[in-house]
Chain A
Amino acid sequence: MLQSIRDRSQSMVAKVIVGAVIVTLALFGIESVVGLFTSGSDNIAEVNGEPITRQQVEIQVQRAIRSGQVPPEQEDAARSQIINQLVTQQLLDQYAEEGGLHASEAQLDRLIVNLPEFQDQSGAFSTDLFRNRLASAGYTPLSFRAQLKSDMVRQQVQQGLAASSFMLDSERQRLLELQRQTRSFRYHVLTGEDLQSPVEVTQEQLQAYYDEHQQQFQRPEQVRLEYVVLDQAKIAEQIDVDEQALRDAYAERQNSAEPRVSHIMATFGDERSRAEAEARLQEVRDRLAAGESFAALAAEYSDDATTAESGGDLGIITRGFFGEEFEEAAFSLDQGEVSNIVETDNGLHLLKVTEMNVPPFEEIRDELRDEAALAQAEDEFNERAQRLIDESFAADDLASVADSLGLTLQQSDWTSRGGASGVLSEPGVMDAAFAPDVLKEGYNSEVIELDAQRRLVLRVAEHREETTLPLDEVRQQVRERVVKQATQDALRQRAAQLAEALRNGETLELEWQRAQSVSRQESNDVPEPIMREAFRLPKPEQDDVVYGRATTEQGVALIALNEVSAGKASSDGQTDAFVVQLAQRLRAQAAIQGLLDDLREEAEIERL
C-alpha cells in the first residue's frame, strides 16, 4: 500500500496534488480536511443531509433549564420540542442560504448595540452588561454572534412574508359587516313537559345505544388492596408520659422562651460605691417585700432614665445582649418573680419577669404530652419500621404481618390507578400497587415512606382488567341517556310541527322570549346555543320569518328569526380595529407557517 503510493507519487499529477494539499493545510488548518471525513454518530437528526448534533440539542436543553423556562422533570418533553425547533431552524437556514440571504458583521454590530438587554440605565451599550448577560445565558461572544446571525436571516424571511401580507378594503368591509351583523328573533324553549306523552324506549333501543357507545361504559383496570399503616403518632398515643417529664419539657420551653423583663438599676462609680448601690437595691427589695409595686419603685430608684418612667420595662429580651449573669437570672424567673441583685457592665440590677411568652403549664399540658410522647415513640417507631420491612418482605400475606406488629389490616374498595382517595392517594402508593411484582406476582409491596413518621405496605387482594361493563350493570345509565335522546328527538319534531303551524298562519299560545337587534360580540342573556343557531339561520325575505331550532340544556328551542341587518360600526372603532388587526396577523402567520410546513414536506428529514 505505502509502496504503491510512493510509486504513484512519482508522477507529476500526484506531486501537484500533494502541493495543493500542503497549501490548503497551511491556509485553512487541519479542520478543513478532517471535517470532510468525520460525519459523527453524534448526530441526532439530519435535515437534507445537514446534521443536527447531540451537542447542539443538549446545549439548548441546558440553556432552557438554566433559564428556568423548563422545569427539570420536563426535560424529555422539552428535548423533543427543541429538536423539532432545531429542525425548523435548519430548514429555514437552508432556505435562506440557498436564497442568498446574508447578515454582515456590521449589521450584527448595529443590532447588538441596539438591543435593550445590553444597555445600561442611560440607554448606552455596556460591554460589561453584554458579557454578563451572555455568560449567564451560556454563550460566548462568538457563539452568540453566530446565533444572532442565523436568527437575523431567518427573521428576514419571516418578516418579509408577514410584511407583504395585506388586507384589501373590500375584504375588510365584508369582514366587519359580518362581524357587526345584528339579528332580531324570538325563541321559545320546549321541555319534556311540552310533549303530549312521555317518550317510551324499548329494549332494542337500549341495546342499540349500548352497542354504539361502548367506550362510554368502560371500566378502567382496578385493584382491591389490603394495607397497613405504621404511624408514629399512633404509637405515641399509647405512651404514658409521667408528670416529671412534662415538667421538664415545660422548663425546657421556658428556658428557651424569651421573657418580658423590667429592671431597676443602680449604678456605681464616682458618685456611689458598689456597696452603696447594693444597699440601695436591698432597700428596694425590702419595700417590694412589704408589698409596694415594682413599677413605682422603678420610677423612684432606677438610674436607667429611659425605662424608669415606664415601670422599668425593657421589653422582650433575647439572649446575647445583656451579659451572662443578667440573662441567667432573667431566663430562670417565673412570671412575677423578682431576681436577686445581678451585675452587668452598667451597674447592679433587680429584674422582674412581667410576661412569659410561654402559656401557663396547664394550658399546654396536652400539647407537651403529645410532643413528649412522639419523641419517646421514635425509637419504638424505628424499631417497628425495620420489622415491617423485614416481615413484609418475608411473609406471603399481610395479615400475619399486621398481627405481629399490632397493626390493623385495612381493605380498600375497587380502585383504579388514578381514582384513589385518602392515604392511598398519597404519592407513590398507587404506583406501588400497580408495580409488576405487586400486581402480577402478588407480593407485598415495598415499605412506602409516606413521610418521616408514617410507613405503608400494601398488597393486591384482587385485580380486574379494564373491561366494558355489561348492559345489565349500566342499564339505568343507558336508559337515562336514551330517554334524553328520544325526548330531544320528539321535541325537535314538536318544534317542526309548531313551525309548520305558525307558517300556516295559526296562532299559538307560546311564551316567546325576544332578542332585538342583538350582535355576536355584545353580551346578552340569550343562551349560547340559541345565539349560535340564530346566527346560522338563512336570512328571511322581507316580512318573512325563518324558523329554526337549537338544542339547549333544558330541551329544544324553537327560534323565529325576523330580521338580519348589517349593523353599525362600533362607536369607538376599537372592536373594528381589533378585528382587522387579528385577521391581518393570522394571515401573516399563515404565510410563515405555510412556508415551514412546505419546507418540512419537501425536505428529507432523518431522525438518527
Chain B
Amino acid sequence: MAELRTEEEQLEALKRWWKENGTSLIVGVVIAVVAVVGWKAWQSYQANQAEAASMRYQQLLTLASRPTLEGDALAEAQRLIGEISDTHGDTLYADLATLIEARVAIADGDLAAASGALEALIENTQRDYLKGLARLRLARLQLAEGDAEAALASLEAGVPDALGAQRADTRGDILLALGREDDAREAYQTALNLSQETGQPVYGVQLKLDNLGAEDATL
C-alpha cells in the first residue's frame, strides 16, 4: 500500500473508509448485540422455567420417597404433580411426575386413576423407554383389577428388552390368571433365565415357578 504522506491525507482516507463501510459495520454490530441479548434473555427465561420445574419436582420426590403416603402429604403431592404437568408439560419432569402420579393414586387406593395416569403417559410421551415402562406397570394394574386380557394386550404393545425379565415375570402372572399354566411356567422360566443373564434379580420368580410344580422332580 502506498504510504500516506500527511496527516490530512490519513484523516481523509479514514473518512472515506468510514463512508464506505460505516453503515454495514454498525448494522453488523447491532445485529450481533440484538442476537446476543435476545439469546441471553431466552436462556434466562428457560433457566427460570427449568428451575421452577426442578424445585417442584424435587419436592415431589421427597414426598414420594416416603414409604407411606397419606393425608396432607398425598394432597401436596397431587398438587405438585398437577403444577408440573400444567406448566412444564413437555419436559422429562412431566413424564416422571406422571409415573409418580400413578404410584400416588395407588397409595390413595384409586387404581382406576393410576391406570388413567399411565394410559395418558403411554399416549403422550415421546420417550420410548418410559412408554414401555408405563405399559409394564399398566399391565400389572389391569391384572390386579381382573382384566387379564387387557393386561396381555398392554404388555404386547411393546415393552423394551431392557425390562425383559420383569416383562416375562408379569407375562407369567397374566398367563396364570388366564389358566394357561404351561405357558406361564415357560414365561417364568424365561424371566429367571433373563434375570440371571443380566444379574438383575426379580424377586419371587423362583417361588412362582416352584409353585407350579416341576415335571422333572415328579415320579
Chain A residues with a Cβ under 8 A of chain B: 12, 15-20, 22-24, 27, 95-96, 98-104, 106-107, 156-157, 159-166, 168-171, 175, 178-179, 181, 495-496, 499-500, 533, 535-539, 546-550, 558, 579, 582-583, 586-587, 589-591, 593-599, 601
Task: Choose the segment among B3-11, B147-155, B207-215 that binds chain A (4+ C-beta atoms closer than 8 Å).
Answer: B207-215
Which chain B residues border A166 with CB–CB below 8 Å?
102-103, 106-107, 137
**B95-120 at interface with A (beta carbon < 8 Å):** 95-97, 99-100, 102-103, 106-107, 111
Q: How far is the CA of A181 from the CA of B204 in the complex (A)?
A: 13
Cross-chain contact B96 with A20 (CB below 8 angstroms): no
Contacts A107-B55, A178-B211: A164 and B100 contacting too (C-beta < 8 A)? yes
Q: Is residue B13 contacting chain A, with contact meaning CB distance below 8 A?
A: no
Cross-chain contact B96 with A597 (CB below 8 angstroms): no
Cross-chain contact B92 with A17 (CB below 8 angstroms): no
Closest 10 CB pairs of A and B: A19-B28, A99-B92, A538-B213, A102-B50, A160-B96, A164-B99, A23-B32, A597-B162, A100-B91, A583-B203
Cross-chain contact B213 with A536 (CB below 8 angstroms): yes
Cross-chain contact A591 with B133 (CB below 8 angstroms): yes
Cross-chain contact B33 with A550 (CB below 8 angstroms): no
Cross-chain contact B103 with A163 (CB below 8 angstroms): yes
Q: Is residue B73 contacting chain A, with contact meaning CB distance below 8 A?
A: no
Q: How far is the CA of A104 from the CA of B165 in the complex (A)?
A: 37
Which chain B residues border A496 with CB–CB below 8 Å?
219
Q: How far is the CA of A170 from the CA of B148 in the complex (A)?
A: 14
Chain A's nearest CB lies how many Å from the CB of B124?
14
Cross-chain contact B219 with A549 (CB below 8 angstroms): yes
Which chain A residues border B141 with CB–CB below 8 Å?
168
Chain A's nearest CB lies how many Å from the CB of B43?
12
Which chain A residues border B36 with CB–CB below 8 Å?
23-24, 27
Q: Is residue B178 contacting chain A, with contact meaning CB distance below 8 A?
A: no
Q: How far is the CA of A539 from the CA of B218 in the complex (A)?
A: 11
Which chain A residues border B107 with CB–CB below 8 Å?
166
Q: Is the interface of B mostly helix, strand, loop or mixed?
A: helix
Residue in chain B with minimal CB distance to A496: B219
Cross-chain contact A533 with B54 (CB below 8 angstroms): no
Contacts A16-B31, A166-B102: A100 and B88 contacting too (C-beta < 8 A)? yes
Q: Is residue B14 contacting chain A, with contact meaning CB distance below 8 A?
A: no
Cross-chain contact A19 with B211 (CB below 8 angstroms): no
Cross-chain contact A548 with B218 (CB below 8 angstroms): yes
**B29-64 at interface with A (beta carbon < 8 Å):** 29, 31-33, 35-36, 47, 50-51, 53-55, 57-58, 61, 64
Cross-chain contact A15 with B54 (CB below 8 angstroms): no
Contact of B103 among A102, A165, A601 (CB under 8 A): A165
Q: Is the interface of A mostly helix, strand, loop or mixed?
A: helix
Q: Can you offer 13 A-B residue contacts whose CB atoms are under 8 A?
A: A99-B95, A100-B92, A101-B92, A104-B50, A156-B58, A163-B103, A536-B213, A536-B217, A537-B214, A538-B212, A549-B217, A550-B217, A579-B203
Most A Cβ at <10 Å: residue of B51, B100, B203: B203
Contacts A95-B92, A536-B210: A156 and B27 contacting too (C-beta < 8 A)? no
Cross-chain contact A101 with B93 (CB below 8 angstroms): yes
Contacts A19-B28, A160-B61: A179 and B207 contacting too (C-beta < 8 A)? yes
Q: How far is the CA of A47 from the CA of B92 in the complex (A)?
A: 20
Q: How far is the CA of A595 from the CA of B163 in the complex (A)?
A: 8
Cross-chain contact B51 with A104 (CB below 8 angstroms): yes
Which chain B residues border A179 with CB–CB below 8 Å?
204, 207
Q: Is residue B190 contacting chain A, with contact meaning CB distance below 8 A?
A: no
Residue in chain B with minimal CB distance to A102: B50
Cross-chain contact A157 with B219 (CB below 8 angstroms): no
Q: How far is the CA of A102 from the CA of B141 in the complex (A)?
A: 32
Q: How far is the CA of A159 from the CA of B35 in the complex (A)?
A: 38
Q: How far is the CA of A50 from the CA of B201 in the complex (A)?
A: 33
Q: Is residue B202 contacting chain A, with contact meaning CB distance below 8 A?
A: yes
Cross-chain contact A595 with B129 (CB below 8 angstroms): yes
Cross-chain contact A593 with B200 (CB below 8 angstroms): yes
Residue in chain B with minimal CB distance to A105: B51
Residue in chain A with minimal CB distance to B199: A593
Which chain A residues border B193 with CB–CB below 8 Å?
none
Residue in chain A with minimal CB distance to B107: A166
Contact of B32 among A20, A169, A596, A599 (CB under 8 A): A20
Contacts A20-B32, A100-B50, A107-B51: A157 and B96 contacting too (C-beta < 8 A)? yes
Chain A's nearest CB lies how many Å from the CB of B173?
8
Cross-chain contact A12 with B24 (CB below 8 angstroms): yes
**New A-B contacts (9) at CB < 8 Å, excluding given A107-B54, A181-B211:** A15-B21, A19-B31, A99-B91, A156-B57, A156-B93, A166-B103, A175-B203, A175-B207, A583-B203
Q: How far is the CA of A550 from the CA of B216 in the complex (A)?
A: 10
Q: How far is the CA of A407 from the CA of B136 in the complex (A)?
A: 76
Q: How far is the CA of A361 from the CA of B81 in the complex (A)?
A: 90
Cross-chain contact A163 with B92 (CB below 8 angstroms): no
Which chain B residues border A163 with CB–CB below 8 Å?
61, 64-65, 100, 103
Contacts A99-B95, A100-B93, A157-B92: A164 and B203 contacting too (C-beta < 8 A)? no
Contacts A538-B213, A595-B129: A20 and B103 contacting too (C-beta < 8 A)? no
Cross-chain contact B129 with A100 (CB below 8 angstroms): no
Q: Is residue B140 contacting chain A, with contact meaning CB distance below 8 A?
A: yes
Q: How far is the CA of A168 from the CA of B51 in the complex (A)?
A: 34
Residue in chain A with minimal CB distance to B50: A102
Which chain B residues border A550 with CB–CB below 8 Å?
217
Q: How far is the CA of A141 from the CA of B47 in the complex (A)?
A: 22
Which chain A residues border B211 with CB–CB below 8 Å?
178, 181
Contacts A178-B208, A590-B200: A102 and B102 contacting too (C-beta < 8 A)? no
Contacts A102-B47, A590-B166: A170 and B144 contacting too (C-beta < 8 A)? yes
